[in-house]
Amino acid sequence: MLYLFEPLINLLMDIRTCLDCQSKLLGRTDKKFCCDACRNNFNNRLNSDSTAQMRNIHNILRKNRRILHDLVPTESGKASITTKKLITFGFNFDYITHFLTTKTGNTYYFCFEYGYRKLDDHYCVLVKKISV
Ligand SMILES: [Zn+2]
């Protein structure tokens, strides 16, 4: 029973514990870890979570860019395609790098240097931006 209340007792008694292994900390009051191994373990775990997330998102963005790259001819830098077709290629409309709204009020959504604009419910125009 006492075990259940240990974190509370520690808090009340101002007993600090290692952020990684929860063992009691002795010494300096600004200490967060009991040893270097725990510090490394804790930080690696934090970083691996965020880098896995970032890797997934970056893969989606890279795939989106590759799809647009394959569809936009180098000469004209423009193409049009059905939204349905973009989806069948695996384009994910939820992920973009940035957007631009032209003076005429049209918004283009970009994955790096390639962008699209929805013309209506069925068609998209694809563009390549000359300079970023
Ligand atoms: Zn520790």
> Which pLDDT band holds residue 15 (cuts at 50, 70, 90)?
confident
Q: What percent of the chain has pLDDT over 70?
A: 89
CA of 51 to the centre of ligand 1 (A): 23
CA angle 24, 26, 29 (to 5 degrees): 105
User: Could you tell me the distance, in angstroms and rounded to a whole number, from the CA of residue 30 to the centre of ligand 1?
Assistant: 14
Backbone angles phi, psi at 84, to 5 degrees: -55, -45
Ligand 1 centroid–CA 85 distance in Å is: 53
pTM of the entire predicted model: 0.69
- Cα 70 from Cα 59, distance rounded (Å): 16
9-18, 30-39, 91-100: lowest mean pLDDT where?
A: 9-18
DSSP 3-state of 8 = helix
Stretch (H or E) spanning 120: none
Average pLDDT, the chain: 89
Size of the chain, expressed as the number of residues it contains:
132
Q: For residue 14, how far is its CA from the centre of ligand 1 (angstroms)? A: 17
